[in-house]
Amino acid sequence: MNEKDWDILLAVYEESSISRAAQKLFITQPALTYRLKLIEKQLGIKMYVKGKKHISFTKESRLLVEYAQKMKIEYQKLVDVLKDTKDKISGELRIGVSSNFADFELPDLLKDFHDLYPNVQLKVHTAWSTNVYKSFREEEDHIGIVRGNYPWEGSKILMSEDEVCIVSANPIVIDELPELPSIRHLSGPDTKLIVEKWWNDRFKEPPNISMEVGNLETCKKLVIKGLGYGILPMYCLEEYDLKDDLYIYPLTMSNGEPILRKLWTFYREEDTKLSVVKTFIDFIEERYSVDKEA
């Protein structure tokens, strides 16, 4: 088996479909089926059982998928090391990033880093922080930039702490929130839990949700138009918004404890042996230490 075989196994397993896996891999379905038959013959196992809508992997083939996942990671580590020995501050840097950070701060951060180190190949994906953390833990990424509290005991950098706020175009009385129209934006599961915990601590009635939108920016624009209040993180309120006669009320629990969202960079110390990872970590430490001092 080789790297292409690992890709085939993982694609078929993830898609549970020969046709969808073939599309994902940009190969024909007959070519994919032929390769799977060769693997079955080589290893003396049955790869999968066909169902009406999808295929199910056998116990033996699931072990093979686990092996392929491990080998993909180890192979990529080898590639990273080999690239690192050729040219300093070059090679591939894999970063998983929280979606909201990606919307507001990531473009400037990556532009500044790329200007300093143009030979680094950036491979970036964005998702909810929970999914970014999962990918990072599975060693798919060198770096995980996440917002929230996660049980990572390895190396990490605290980038910022942001208040979560009630934002309105009109003055409001907090105790009257259950009666006021609320504009809710799509958020990750950890953010939902924090807001729900705060709400249940303060109110017995459910919120009066008048609108549900897909992202922070849309929510903010509707709030500015006076169509309801929103619960938004402080980092998405740029200076021109603060001057727009918005009323901002930081969330606090009934005991006075503020609701804060921490932004972290997670990394593995052993990965800093790669110059590209070490350089990015140094870049983050310098950038965010300056921001905190400012």
CA atoms of 221 and 117, how far apart (whole Å): 36
Delineate the domains of the chain, giving CATH numbers in brackets: 3-80 (1.10.10.10), 88-154+268-293 (3.40.190.10), 162-261 (3.40.190.10)
End-to-end Cα spacing for the chain: 54
Token pair, residue 249, equals 């009320």
At 32 the pLDDT is: 86
CA atoms of 182 and 213, how far apart (whole Å): 11
Kindly report the average pLDDT of the chain as a whole number. Answer: 88
At 5 the pLDDT is: 83
* Residues of the chain with confidence (pLDDT) below 50: 293-294
Q: What backbone torsions phi and psi does residue 141 show, to the nearest 5 degrees?
A: -125, 150
pTM over 0.75: no
At 65 the pLDDT is: 86
